[in-house]
Chains A and B, each alone.
Chain A
Amino acid sequence: MFFIAFFGGLSGCSRGTAQRGLVVAGSTSVQPFADHWAEFYMKDYPERVVNIQGGGSSAGIQAAREGAADIGMSSRELKPEENDLLEVIVAWDGLAIIVHPDNGLEGLSQEEVRGIFSGDIRNWSTLQEPDHAITVVTREEGSGTRATFQEMVMKKSRISPRAIVQDSNGTVREIVANDPHSIGYISLGLVNNKVKALRFDGMEPTYENIDQKKYRLIRPFLFVTKGPPSGAALDFINFVISRRIQELVRLDGLVPIFRED
């Protein structure tokens, strides 16, 4: 019993950002970029500390609601029951369908992608590629990336439960980079030369195409706060949506919130 009292006492003094710095927690898709922004922020203001945490969109949203984090990061839209929180779009992210660089395919239609991920198309030969079973790699239930993919590509069909499930963009990329017969989907900003991003419905996943709304697989990166942000949180959000950082966002492979007009 004594340690409950002891915890209670400690929890009383755990609030307040002064000693722990600004805590930003949530989506593992946003995390690498937020880390980068925080590095710049702390270079400008060496006396301020920003802690970027993973954990996932839902964990971040919950942490923001319960005060464990000052800002929650989400890579999916807020659900209706989460509308007690305020959201700021800090960047847009494309979703890329990726295969191994040795794969002869250059692009797929939405129906083909849906067929592969629902388990209707099981062999590359169906797509005029060398005969081999397709290894489908997807994200876990609840992931913002998966939610976006489900909504924009799969629509009403289910992703086959036989697909390999991984819990981050990086691991999906690693698997696809090492297995010549696999296919997956990741954040456009994380595509590198170890994997090949496919055209989707004939459209190359480039920033021009996203800007012109030709490439349709995009989703917002959100910063979520409980009530209007203030103090350090407001300061950091303003820093992130400033023109200078938004230019950086483009270099990182994301799509800025303002369009070049």
Chain B
Amino acid sequence: MKIAVPPRTEQGIIRALLWLLTAITVFILFFIIFYVLKRGLPVVSLEFLAQNPTEMGKAGGIFSTIIGTIALTLLAILIATPMGVGSAIFLTEYTRENWITRMIRFGSECLAGIPSIIFGLFGFILFVTKLGFGWSLLSGGLTLAFMILPTIIRTSEEAIRSVPYAYREVSFSLGSTKWQTVTRVVLPSSLPGIATGVILSIGRSIGETAAVIFTAGSSLHVPTSLFSSSRTMSVHFYILAREGISMDNAYGTAAVLIIAILGINVLAYSLMNRFMRRYC
């Protein structure tokens, strides 16, 4: 038998419950950030950022891991962006909806859902062993590029689609070719959207551990070429924390990571806002 509760009372109860759950959620999420920053920030100093780790990271700073992170991320972005934007242009400007575009879209959506450890396995077998790149920036960069490609395709596609059709028509009526229209009109207008996708991918590359550890290795040296192995900040944090090498340095690395990702997200968000204001 259903007990009749007046709708207002029911709403009151539910509302209180929902607010409670929300408060707990928000508290937990904030707690994690504050906890890491509180333990980590005291460790972070100019020396911590500018010195190389010594004694496996027990002493010294994290300079080489910062360089490793930047190099690896940059490489992944440089490989994935042209491929991703190219795919998006092809999907939106040069084809109608048919089975090919559906297949491509399905492929990239599947790719987006594949866990990073599978990318790690794949990168390890193809780049590290079969092609003989060893644990290197190149192997890691290619693996990461494959991993972030779907994000870039999807965000670029959406950005290109949201460019008003009138822009293209005006361009065509002025006598420009398809290619000129794409490069001079469509791409510049969709740039903020594409940039958002790229920035989101940067965030994902920086935070990745599983795929990187099996492809880029964990050498503590500053990488000198595409074939040198390198350790990213996430991997460094993982190793320091797990092996109990130095908790202080682990927290410090985590704090730097969180701040970097915070900065990147703020950047992405402000770009996205500007983009929205322009077209919506």
Enumerate chain A interface residues (CB-CB to B < 8 A): 7-8, 10-11, 14-15, 19-21, 23, 25, 32, 35-36, 39, 49, 51-55, 62-63, 66-69, 168-171, 173-174, 177
Q: Quick check: B221 and A14 within 8 Å, CB to CB?
A: no
Q: Pull 22 A–B residue pairs with CB atoms less than 8 Å apart, ordered by A.
A: A10-B131, A14-B133, A14-B134, A14-B138, A20-B225, A20-B228, A20-B229, A35-B56, A36-B55, A51-B221, A52-B219, A53-B217, A53-B218, A55-B214, A63-B134, A68-B129, A68-B134, A69-B134, A170-B243, A171-B243, A173-B244, A174-B243
Chain A positions within 8 Å of B131 at CB level: 7-8, 10-11, 14
What is the 8 Å Cβ interface bit string for chain B, positions 227-245, against chain A (1 contact, 0 not)?
1110000000000001111
Closest chain A CB from B143 CB (angstroms): 12
Q: Quick check: A53 and B227 within 8 Å, CB to CB?
A: no
Does any Cβ of A come within 8 Å of B151's Cβ? Answer: no
Chain B positions within 8 Å of A55 at CB level: 135, 214, 217
Bound: A32/B227 CA distance, A:
22
Q: Quick check: B56 and A32 within 8 Å, CB to CB?
A: yes
Q: Quick check: B229 and A10 within 8 Å, CB to CB?
A: no
Q: Quick check: A62 and B129 within 8 Å, CB to CB?
A: yes
In this complex, what residue of B is CB-closest to A177? B244
Enumerate chain B interface residues (CB-CB to A < 8 A): 54-56, 127-129, 131-136, 138, 214, 217-221, 224-225, 227-229, 242-245
Knowing A7-B131, A14-B134, A63-B134, say if A21 contacts B244 (CB, 8 Å). no
A14, A15, A49, most chain B CB atoms within 10 A = A14
Chain A positions within 8 Å of B55 at CB level: 36
In this complex, what residue of A is CB-closest to B79? A3
Q: Quick check: A51 and B228 within 8 Å, CB to CB?
A: yes
* 9 pairs of A and B residues whose beta carbons are closest in the complex: A170-B243, A68-B134, A174-B244, A20-B227, A11-B131, A51-B219, A53-B217, A19-B225, A11-B132
Chain B positions within 8 Å of A62 at CB level: 129
Q: Quick check: A23 and B134 within 8 Å, CB to CB?
A: yes
Chain A positions within 8 Å of B220 at CB level: 35, 52
Additional A-B contacts beyond A20-B225, A55-B214, A68-B133 (7; CB < 8 A): A14-B131, A14-B133, A20-B224, A51-B228, A53-B229, A68-B135, A171-B244
Closest chain B CB from A18 CB (angstroms): 10
Chain A positions within 8 Å of B221 at CB level: 21, 49, 51
Bound: A67/B130 CA distance, A:
10
Q: Quick check: B218 and A66 within 8 Å, CB to CB?
A: no
Q: Quick check: B243 and A51 within 8 Å, CB to CB?
A: no
Q: How many A-B contacts if CB must be within 8 Å? A: 89
Closest chain B CB from A28 CB (angstroms): 9
Bound: A174/B138 CA distance, A:
33
Determine which of A14, A35, A52, A63 lies in contact with B227 in the assembled complex, contact meaning CB atoms within 8 Å: A14
Determine which of A10, A53, A170, A173 lies in contact with B135 in the assembled complex, contact meaning CB atoms within 8 Å: A53
Q: Quick check: A19 and B227 within 8 Å, CB to CB?
A: yes
Q: Quick check: B244 and A20 within 8 Å, CB to CB?
A: no
Chain A positions within 8 Å of B229 at CB level: 20, 23, 51, 53
Determine which of B132, B225, B245 lies in contact with A15 in the assembled complex, contact meaning CB atoms within 8 Å: B132
Bound: A160/B118 CA distance, A:
29
Chain B positions within 8 Å of A11 at CB level: 131-133
Bound: A52/B228 CA distance, A:
11
Bound: A84/B69 CA distance, A:
37
B127, B221, B244, most chain A CB atoms within 10 A = B244
Closest chain A CB from B244 CB (angstroms): 4
Closest chain A CB from B64 CB (angstroms): 12
Bound: A68/B139 CA distance, A:
12
Bound: A68/B127 CA distance, A:
10
Bound: A136/B218 CA distance, A:
29
Closest chain B CB from A118 CB (angstroms): 27
Chain A positions within 8 Å of B138 at CB level: 10, 14
Chain B positions within 8 Å of A51 at CB level: 217, 219, 221, 228-229
Chain B positions within 8 Å of A35 at CB level: 56, 220
Q: Quick check: A68 and B132 within 8 Å, CB to CB?
A: yes
Chain A positions within 8 Å of B244 at CB level: 170-171, 173-174, 177
Q: Quick check: B135 and A25 within 8 Å, CB to CB?
A: yes
